[in-house]
Amino acid sequence: MAEFDDIIHQPLRLKIMAALNALPAAQGLEFARLKKLTGATDGNLGAHIETLAKAGYVAVDKAFVGKKPQTTVTATADGRGAFARHVATLREIIAGAGPDGG
């Protein structure tokens, strides 16, 4: 039985995890790129990344590129596993509902 993950299922966190999981392992996305992809505001995105980081699902790396600060977010192995299980759960819910989706 797959497991439903309330941390991931929140709409913006789901988008963040989906975006990071679309990348090869160990590759992350810059905060600005993630903001563009998800359509979130700075504050909202930052808060949800923090929630995912506290759960151990993403790693946040802050560095300076030249004189500009750059934040890169990467899905951890735990995060990738949790996301895969969450997607499996969603598919089970749909499959369990039958062909008419009801």
Q: Which CB sits closer to other proteins, 26 or 47?
A: 26
The reply on whether position 76 binds other proteins by CB under 8 A is no
> What is the rounded distance in angstroms from the CA atom of residue 22 to the CA atom of residue 17?
9
The reply on whether position 26 binds other proteins by CB under 8 A is yes
Segment contacting other proteins (CB under 8 A): 40-48, 53-61, 66-74, 84-92?
A: 84-92
Instruction: Output b/e per residue, 23-40; b: 16+ Cβ within 10 A.
Output: eeeeebbebeebbeebeb
Segment contacting other proteins (CB under 8 A): 12-20, 43-51, 52-60, 67-75?
A: 12-20
